[in-house]
């Protein structure tokens, strides 16, 4: 019996036990890795498959010394209670439902910055260099909860953990994205579908409009064939997609997105931009 079937058949009071067992099993079977992320301009393990071990540290691209631990699991329990309450057990719907959940968990931007939470506060609350570095070791993903400070690195890490527990073959990817000409180091996810793969971006999302009024957001989803997926993660090929909004249920192109793993930037002169299929339903 897979995880979603257990969730569909269990009583609400049994959810925590099922989730706890799933987390313990996922952590025990996870590929052991000490650190994920960017350091000194290079990515470590730029594509990581499956559940990120709870003792792994995440090193993000734009802060010098600080990193944070993945011991946080509260969001997994919260999301599983959400799907049990809403009776949502279809994987495609769950992928979409993760977008508002990620926003609610981390909070809207503007309250604090990651630098403040992960670096400034430890520095201000310690007196010696030894105390400071010890404080940095206590940084955890949950420290960003509700602070509006999370960026793509944390959003993708949260999504990776939940997708893995849900039983989906998923990949945590670190590289670069070019969204309509704006480039930045970027983290995103890839999930295996029945016959192909889908790139998921929970940070630079898709706007949903109804009668010209913005209603909500959903993750950007771009399709990869099996061959494209292999070349993307193994050869560092750049992948381009149509960027789009959804207006009254219809896809409206608004530009181009490009993604690459393991690199800080995309060399556009090497890119042949074509319109690619996008999954919207």
Please report, for the chain, the start and end positions of each structural domain, with discontinuous segments joined by +: 3-270
C-alpha–C-alpha distance, residues 39 and 54, integer Å:
20
Instruction: Specify the pLDDT at position 248.
Output: 86
- How high is the pLDDT of residue 278? 36
* Closest to 201 (Cα-Cα) out of 252, 239, 146: 239
Average pLDDT value over all residues in the chain? 89
- The count of other CB atoms within 10 Å of the CB of residue 31 is 12
Pairwise CA distance, residues 239 & 224, whole Å: 9
- The half-sphere exposure of 193 on its side-chain side, counting CA atoms within 13 A, is 16
3-state secondary structure the chain: CCHHHHHHHCCHHHHHHHHHHHHHHHHHHCCCCCEEEEECCEEECCEEECCCCCCCEEECCCCCCCCEECCCCHHHHHHHHHHHHHCCCCHHHHHHHHHHHHHHHHCCCCCCCHHHHHHHHHHHCCCCHHHHHHHHHCCEHHHHCCCCCCCHHHHHHHHHHHHHHCCCCEEEEEEEEEECCEEEEEEEEEEECCCCEEEEEEEEEEEEEECCEEEEEEEEEEEECHHHHHHHHHHCCCEEEEEEEEECCEEEEEEEEEEEECCCCCCHHHCCCCCCCCCCC
Pick the more confident residue, 69 or 269.
Answer: 69
pLDDT digits (tens, 9 = 90+) for 199-252: 999 999 998 888 767 667 899 999 999 999 999 999 999 999 999 998 888 889
What average pLDDT does this structure show over 96-113? 91
| Residue 64 banded pLDDT, cuts 50, 70, 90 | low
The whole-angstrom separation of Cα 188 and Cα 224 is 14
Closest CA to 56 of 80, 32, 90, 73: 32
Token pair of 73, please?
Answer: 């699991």
Residues in the chain: 281
Which of 280, 258, 251 has the alpha carbon at shortest distance from 180? 258
Asked whether the beta carbons of 271 and 238 are under 8 A apart, the reply is yes
pLDDT bucket at 275, cuts 50 / 70 / 90: very low
Distance CA(171)–CA(150), nearest Å, equals 19
Q: What is the pTM of this model?
A: 0.91
43 — pLDDT class (breaks 50, 70, 90): low
pLDDT-based confidence at residue 263 (cuts at 50, 70, 90):
confident
> What is the rounded distance in angstroms from the CA atom of residue 263 to the CA atom of residue 188?
13
Distance CA 174, CA 171 (A): 10
Reported confidence tier of residue 37, pLDDT bands at 50, 70, 90: confident
pLDDT of residue 250: 86
- Assign 71 a pLDDT band (cuts: 50, 70, 90): very high
Checking if the pLDDT of 274 tops 50, the result is no
What gap in Å lies between CA 164 and CA 31, rounded to an integer?
A: 13
Q: How confident is the model at residue 281 (pLDDT cuts 50, 70, 90)?
A: very low
């Amino acid at each position: 019996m897979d995880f979603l079937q257990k969730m569909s058949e269990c009583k609400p009071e049994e959810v925590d036990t099922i989730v706890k067992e799933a987390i313990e099993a996922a952590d025990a079977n996870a590929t052991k890795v000490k650190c994920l992320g960017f350091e000194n301009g290079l990515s470590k393990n730029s594509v990581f498959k499956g559940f990120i071990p709870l003792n792994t540290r995440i090193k993000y691209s734009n802060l010098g010394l600080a990193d944070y631990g993945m011991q946080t699991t509260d969001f997994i329990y919260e999301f599983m209670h959400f799907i049990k309450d809403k009776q949502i057990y279809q994987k495609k719907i769950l992928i979409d439902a993760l977008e508002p959940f990620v926003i609610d968990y981390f909070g809207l931007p503007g309250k604090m910055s990651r630098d403040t939470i992960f670096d400034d506060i430890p520095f201000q609350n310690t007196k010696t260099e030894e105390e400071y570095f010890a404080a940095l070791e206590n940084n955890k993903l949950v420290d960003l909860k509700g602070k509006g400070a999370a960026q793509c690195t944390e959003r993708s890490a949260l999504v990776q953990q939940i997708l893995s527990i849900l039983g989906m073959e998923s990949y945590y990817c670190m590289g670069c994205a070019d969204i309509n000409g704006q480039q930045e180091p970027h983290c995103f996810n890839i999930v295996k579908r029945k016959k192909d793969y889908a790139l998921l971006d929970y940070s630079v999302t898709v706007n949903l409009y109804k009668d010209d009024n913005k209603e909500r957001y959903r993750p950007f989803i771009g399709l990869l064939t099996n061959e494209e997926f292999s070349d993307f993660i193994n050869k560092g090929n750049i992948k381009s997609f149509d960027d789009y909004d959804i207006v009254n249920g219809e896809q409206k192109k608004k530009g181009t997105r490009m993604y690459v793993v393991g690199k800080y930037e995309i060399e556009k002169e090497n890119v042949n931009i074509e319109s690619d299929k996008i999954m919207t339903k």
